[in-house]
Structure 1
Amino acid sequence: MLDSIETKKRTYKRLGYSAMETVELIDAMNKLLANYSVHYQKLRNFHWNVKGADFFDVHEKFEEQYNYAKVAIDDIAERIRVFGQTPLSTMREYLDVSEIKECGSDLSSMDMVAEILKDYETLLDHMSNLLEKAADNGDSGTEDMVKGFVKQTEKNHWMLTAFSSKN
């Protein structure tokens, strides 16, 4: 029975992957980078402009989350550089590539939370895609990095969902 199951051999890839080997991987990283960057700016927008009875809770949570996003963005961009490639780095590039879109600052605090929850779902989709590409390329470094993002994003999603639920 084991003979009939194909096992995919994974090989160690040295630093300096060729562009041909990693086109899909770099594309997936740049898409995650673009989405994270728009998400980051949205969190800052909401942090600065939230108002209402739950101001202190939401204001603080958005700051915590944009600080996490800032580190994730840097990690992704530096990971792209490990492969000898240049990450997307302008707002125009981010906005052109990102599925996450900007929005105004005139939302209620709960609408802001709902926006961030949608962002997390989009980010998780891109993380899942990147994990698949990393596994296909035998790239355990990227897999490890993204698994940490998944864990934190799922936790953030859970916490904001609990905060915004109407018991």
Structure 2
Amino acid sequence: MSISAEKRVFKKLGYNKEESEKIVGSLNKLLANYHVHYQKLRNFHWNVTGSDFFDLHEKFEELYDESFANIDLIAERIRVFGMTPYSLMKDYLEHADIEEVGTDLSSKAMVEEVLKDFQILVDNMNECAVKVADLGDTATEDMLIAFIKSLELHHWMLSSFIKE
């Protein structure tokens, strides 16, 4: 191998291939978790019943709209690195820590599930933020910080909603 070939290094946005793969691997895990969470929110939006119906039906829609927008931002960020985001349900379910649930939960159980998902997502986002910060990826870190702030606010509000 020639010296010039040895010195050539894959670079995308100033990150080598290994760094880009670390960033994208972490983002794809977040994408998988977010997508399962998104589908769970749609399930709850469609299937919530009881005296909390109007409040929660609207809130679940607000949350899945926000989740959809964040999913798109994560996938686009992965594409910025020249890589492919997960896009198949089997990939989401295989790589996510968040799990599907049935359609017959009480409204309180639905909110408790969403709160558990928020914790998983925030933990996942914090892990990802540490990785990208260590690599100097401030753009991804900034995106994650905005997501975390929003989920923390939603967590507080939904926790207050079900507090007895």
Question: Please, what is the CA RMSD of the aligned residues?
Answer: 1.2
Deviation at residue 15 of structure 1 after TM alignment: 2.2
SS at match of 1:107: coil
Find the aligned partners of 1:69 and 1:42 in 2 and give their Cα distance: 11
Task: Indicate the percent of aligned positions where both proteins have the same amino acid.
Answer: 56
Aligned to 2:99: 101
Work out the CA distance in 2 between the residues paired with 1:22 and 1:59: 39
1:36 Cα deviation from its structure 2 partner: 0.2
Q: Is the 8 A contact 1:39 1:119 kept in 2?
A: yes
Larger relative contact order (CA 8 Å, sep ≥ 6)? 1
State the secondary structure of the residue aligned to 2:46: helix
Structure 2 residue ranges without an equivalent (≥5): 1-10
1:131 maps to 129
Structure 2 distance, partners of 1:37, 1:19, is 26
**Structure 1 portions without partners, runs of 5+:** 1-12
> Separation in 2 of the partners of 1:21 and 1:134?
9
Q: Which secondary structure state, in structure 2, belongs to the residue aligned with residue 115 of structure 1?
A: helix
Deviation at 1:128, TM superposition (A): 0.3
Q: Is the 8 A contact 1:30 1:87 kept in 2?
A: yes
C-alpha change, 1:97 and 1:14, in structure 2 (3 Å) is closer
Tell me what 1:77 maps to: 75
Deviations 1:125-155 (A, max 9, x none): 0000010011011001001100000000000
Aligned partner of 2:56 among 52, 55, 58: 58
Counterpart of 1:120 (choices 118, 121, 125) is 118
Q: Distance in 2 between matches of 1:102 and 1:17?
A: 35
